Amino acid sequence: MPELPEVETTRRGIESHILKLRVHKVLVREPQLRWKIPASLSRQLPGQTIESIKRRGKYLLLSTASNCLIIHLGMSGSLRIVADNAVALKHDHVDILFENNKILRYRDPRKFGAMFWTNDQPLQHPRLIDLGIEPFDKHFNGRYLHQAANNKQQAVKTFIMDSKQLVGVGNIYANEALFLAGIHPVRAAGRISLERYTLLANAIRKVLRNAIKSGGTSLKDFTQTDGQPGYFAVKLNVYDKQGMPCPTCGNTIKQIKQAQRSSYYCSVCQT
Interaction site with DNA (CB under 7 A)? 1-3, 6, 32, 34, 57-58, 72, 74-76, 90-91, 109-112, 127, 152-155, 158, 161, 163, 170-172, 189, 216-222, 259-262
**8-state DSSP, 158:** H
Q: Is residue 215 within 8 Å of 228, Cβ to Cβ?
A: yes
Least Å distance, CB 147 to DNA, is 12
Least Å distance, CB 262 to DNA, is 3
Instruction: Give the 3-state secondary structure of residue 55.
Output: strand
Least Å distance, CB 18 to DNA, is 22
Q: Which residue, 23 or 73, is less far from DNA as judged by CB?
A: 73
Q: Which residue, 64 or 217, is less far from DNA as judged by CB?
A: 217
Among 143, 140, 169, 142, which Cα is nearest to 157's?
A: 169
Beta bridge partners of 92: 107
Distance in Å from the first CA to the final CA of the chain:
29
Whole-angstrom Cα distance, residue 226 to residue 43?
28
Least Å distance, CB 104 to DNA, is 20
Q: Which residue, 32 or 252, is less far from DNA as judged by CB?
A: 32
Q: Which residue, 171 or 202, is less far from DNA as judged by CB?
A: 171
Maximum alpha-carbon separation in the chain: 59
Least Å distance, CB 235 to DNA, is 14
Among 245, 266, 268, which Cα is nearest to 175's?
A: 266
Q: Is residue 7 within 8 Å of 84, Cβ to Cβ?
A: no
Q: Which residue, 85 or 153, is less far from DNA as judged by CB?
A: 153
Whole-angstrom Cα distance, residue 159 to residue 156?
5
Q: What amino acid positions are annotated as catalytic residues?
A: 2-3, 58, 261
Hey, how many other C-beta atoms are within 10 angstroms of the C-beta on 114?
19
